[in-house]
Amino acid sequence: MFQINDGNAIILASESTRRVDILRTLGIPFSIIPPDIDETRKLEETPREYALRLSYEKAHKVGRHFPDKWVIGADTIVVYKNRILGKPVNENEAFKTLQLLKGKWHKVITGFCVLNVDREITCHDAVETRVFMKDLVDEEIMNYIRTSEPLDKAGSYAVQGKGGYMVKEIKGSYSNVVGLPICEVAEVLLSLGILS
């Protein structure tokens, strides 16, 4: 489908299996190097700014060690009324999050960054998708939590997994909700001449 042009090599700065799977759909070779960064949100930082900054910091942390490579960094957040809903620390928090989201719209924002340190090129953007969750009853929420799936997911659900049955409507990119807006990322890779 796509071909990586000569002289280019791609590193995905993420250990997310979801991002790995999505990037593999392009049919191109890439390496995986997870970065270690401080993900504390800054005061007065909007959710979009936060996702953009983290995606840049992830890419830059890896790019400093591999300056001749193209590095892709990304960060996905779930937002309800400007409140970022991170990964739950326990089942009780997952339950509260899903109770908050049931029967309502929320946003999923993924910031992504493509950079090459040697060439001094940085492209970054954020993609926003609106998601409507069905009106769940408490028993449904508890049954889902017992699968353990929501315990390491932002917003306490995985649209590509068992949690997909709870999502009634999506407006925007589906792959963005999973963790990487592949259409937009591919467009950047093509525009930079990394892929053809």
DSSP 25: T
C-alpha span between 163 and 141 (Å, rounded): 10
C-alpha span between 32 and 22 (Å, rounded): 13
* Cα diameter, the chain: 54
- 10 Å CB burial of residue 66 (0-12, 13-18, 19+) is middle
21: helix, coil or strand?
Answer: helix
Q: 128 with 108: CB under 8 angstroms? A: yes
Q: 79 with 106: CB under 8 angstroms? A: yes
Q: 22 with 70: CB under 8 angstroms? A: no
Tokens coding 194: 């990394």
Q: Which residues are catalytic?
A: 75
Tokens coding 12: 């995905």
